[in-house]
Amino acid sequence: MSQDRDSSTKDQDRGGSIEDLIKISAAASALGVSLDTLRRWERAGRISFERRGNRRYVSSEELTKLLRERGATGLTSARNRMQGIIVAVKRDQIMAQIDMICGPYRIVSLMSREAADELALKPGDPATAVVKATTVIVETR
């Protein structure tokens, strides 16, 4: 499922940055609900969308809040596979940092720039974080 992002200059001049907006189809996928459910939530005041032309977007901040609310009591495991949405991609010449929101979890993945480019990762894309190792060691000396 491809999630195209609207990047026209005309749209960037209105309201917030398009880089902070997620198409509602990607948001529905990340939340595990239908588009109709999101539209009902909008009418009920549970979520608000920004309209650009005939498309609806949700801010990455608002989507993160909803994912955390729904994931707080969900059955999401911090191990194995977690479906989510990419909220930021930072690249330099060698490495790339991919920030994802997967339910109540913020996942940061570091990978080669080449791998990120081959996967064509960009904010708003749905993705799955696969956790293989769980050990984190922090030393202060």
Q: Split the chain (141 residues) into runs of 10 and give each run's mean pLDDT.
A: 40 52 86 86 88 88 81 51 90 95 88 92 90 70 75
Please report whether residue 4 resides in a domain. no
Measured CA to CA, the distance from residue 22 to residue 50 in angstroms comes to 10
Please report whether residue 81 resides in a domain. yes
**Count of domains in the chain?**
1
Please tell me the predicted confidence (pLDDT) of residue 2.
41
Domain of residue 15, CATH code: 2.40.50.100
This prediction has a pTM of: 0.45
Please report whether residue 3 resides in a domain. no
Q: Which domain holds residue 82?
A: 9-131
Please report whether residue 40 resides in a domain. yes
Cα–Cα–Cα angle for 49, 55, 61, rounded to 5 degrees: 35
Please report whether residue 119 resides in a domain. yes
Please report whether residue 138 resides in a domain. no
Please report whether residue 136 resides in a domain. no
CB atoms within 10 A of CB 130: 11
**Region for residue 32 given its phi and psi (left: phi exceeds 0; alpha: psi -120 to 50; beta: otherwise):** left
